[in-house]
Amino acid sequence: MLSKTADTDEDLRAGTQLLRGQYDIYGPLAKGGFGITYLARDSLDRKVVIKECFPHAFCIRIGSNVAPAKPHLAPEFDRIVRQFKSEALRLAALTHPRIVSVHQVFEENGTAFLAMEHIQGDDLFTIVEDQPDRLNATMIKSLLIEALDAVEYIHQQGLLHRDLAPDNVLLSADGHVTLIDFGAATELCTPGHEEDGKLLLVKDGYSPYEFYCDGAQDASSDLYALAATFHYMITGYSPPDSHSRMATIEAGQRDPFVPLTADAWGIDQAVLSSINLALSMDRDTRPGSASVWLDLLEGTQAEAAAPVAPAAAMWSDPIIADEIAQLVSTTNSALAERLTEKRKKDAKRKGAKGSQSGNSTKPKQLVDLFGNPIHDLEAFMRDQNDTQDATPDETPDPQPDDLEVEASPAPEASEDEAPEHQTMLGSLLGRMRPRKRTMPSAIPQN
């Protein structure tokens, strides 16, 4: 069940009533950068969850009311409240078994509220810390499929969650996930919302790098956070935060993220490889959508009921390990190329050099018309010009003495060839210079 956090001066007091007594506050459940979540009971005597828009960096509480902390923060505070209401109304239209249902959106006490269904379950932080035995390889695979199905539905509605993390994924007693806390959600790639991301408070270890640098956000941004969440489920710790990863890569050092492998965790390598892929720093390298990620897992779903082998008994496939290493290397290279235009050009030049060195061949040898090697092309051309300057009348008929032959080393003969034949072949292929030729010939020899 959800645990209650300690009361503070920022929280609504227990017993506070909202919307003319329709909701009765029990106490706070969780707090984030933009809101406080409370356990409450509605007028039908049902447990519900109330999310209050409370961006603590911009506001203060005066009694039960919320107001801008300082006059100059009023425009920003008002904008956050408007955004909260707008996105809450969109979320109210979502209907999916793996997404918390929204009952009502309303304004009161100078801010906005979101009433949602109460889910009987524990968040993943609580599960991993207090009940790790509830998780196994089979469950992790099925939970990932459920979560991806929910995320795909969110994206199809034109929304981004933007706050996927272990504390916003609940696990019910019967082993199903529910995505909660959409307070940071916004429209997906919609003009006019470019500034919304600047209000986000990032979660180290779970937020993609584009959340730190106010970069472009798309479906792959949610997928990075979801992959980090499942990394935590598997290992008990989050991946290195993306800001530190980027700083390390920019410094020309190896990405500190260590890809997950089956021999270490006893989970299907296809599942782990898909998580590794979604944790790529380069957005273009991640799966482009949740459906693409699901396609990557399609081949592993049939084995979902198979027993889990101990980690020590799992075999390590060197081919898969090599592919993972190459993927990480490729991702880091792509990131480095995107940092600056100069780095991109340098990387291309280095890549071209690497390609040439990897496929180096012996330079082509120029030969004359008779197959003799030409070592000095300029001398050869001068030699031909000197020959062409001579006129037919001044040049006597060719005699044996006028035909210069410089024997070149005879090629190696086959076992059937006689020495006499080798000598004759060497003479025929020797360097011959006739008296006159209409044009020189230099033929590249492959």
Amino acid sitting at position 355: S
Report yes or no: 193 and 178 within 8 Å, Cβ to Cβ: no
Residue 57 scores a pLDDT above 50: yes
DSSP letters, 208-266, are -HHHHTT----HHHHHHHHHHHHHHHHHSSPPPPHHHHHHHHHTTPPPS-----HHHH-
Of 37-41, 317-321, 401-405, the least confident? 401-405
- The CA distance from 270 to 278, in Å, is 12
Residue 97 scores a pLDDT above 60: yes
Topology classification of domain 1-118? Phosphorylase Kinase; domain 1 (3.30.200)
**pLDDT confidence of 346, banded at 50, 70, 90?**
low
Mean pLDDT of 156-168: 90
- The CA distance from 326 to 313, in Å, is 25
Q: In which residue are the tokens 């889910």 written?
A: 119
- The CA distance from 244 to 121, in Å, is 33
Residue 411 scores a pLDDT above 60: no
- Which residues, including other chains, have CB under 8 Å from residue 118's CB and lie 6 or more apart? 2, 39, 46, 47, 48, 49
pLDDT of residue 224: 97
Amino acid sitting at position 165: A
- The CA distance from 99 to 289, in Å, is 18
Residue 437 scores a pLDDT above 80: no
pLDDT of residue 429: 37
Domains 1-118 and 120-351 share a fold: no
Q: If phi over 0 gives left and psi between -120 and 50 gives alpha, with beta otherwise, what is residue 20? A: left
Of 34, 164, 52, nearest to 99 by C-alpha is 164
Q: Which two tokens stand for residue 237?
A: 């710790």
Topology classification of domain 120-351? Transferase(Phosphotransferase); domain 1 (1.10.510)
Between 238 and 362, name the one with better pLDDT: 238
Polymer length in residues for the chain? 446
Residue 108 scores a pLDDT above 90: yes
Between 248 and 426, name the one with better pLDDT: 248
**pLDDT confidence of 114, banded at 50, 70, 90?**
very high
pLDDT of residue 387: 54
Domain range summary for the chain, segments of one domain joined by +: 1-118, 120-351, 365-393+403-445
Half-sphere exposure of 190 (CA within 13 A, CB side): 13
Mean pLDDT of 204-213: 91
Of 77-81, 254-258, 306-310, 340-344, the least confident? 306-310
pLDDT of residue 207: 93
- Give the 3-state secondary structure of residue 191: coil
Largest separation between any pair of C-alpha atoms in the chain: 125
For the chain, percent of residues with pLDDT exceeding 90: 48
**Which range, 263-277, 356-370, 420-434, is most confident?**
263-277
DSSP letters, 384-414, are HHHHHHS-TTTSPPP-GGGSEEEPPPPPPPP
Neighbours of 443 (CB within 10 A): 13
pLDDT of residue 358: 44
Mapping DSSP onto H, E and C, the string for 108-170 reads ECCEEEEEEECCCEEEHHHHHHHCHHHCCHHHHHHHHHHHHHHHHHHHHCCEECCCCCHHHEE
Between 91 and 331, name the one with better pLDDT: 91
Element holding 335 (H helix, E strand): helix 318-339
Query: Buried b vs exposed e over 290-308: b needs ≥16 C-beta within 10 Å?
Result: bebbbebbeebeeeeeeee
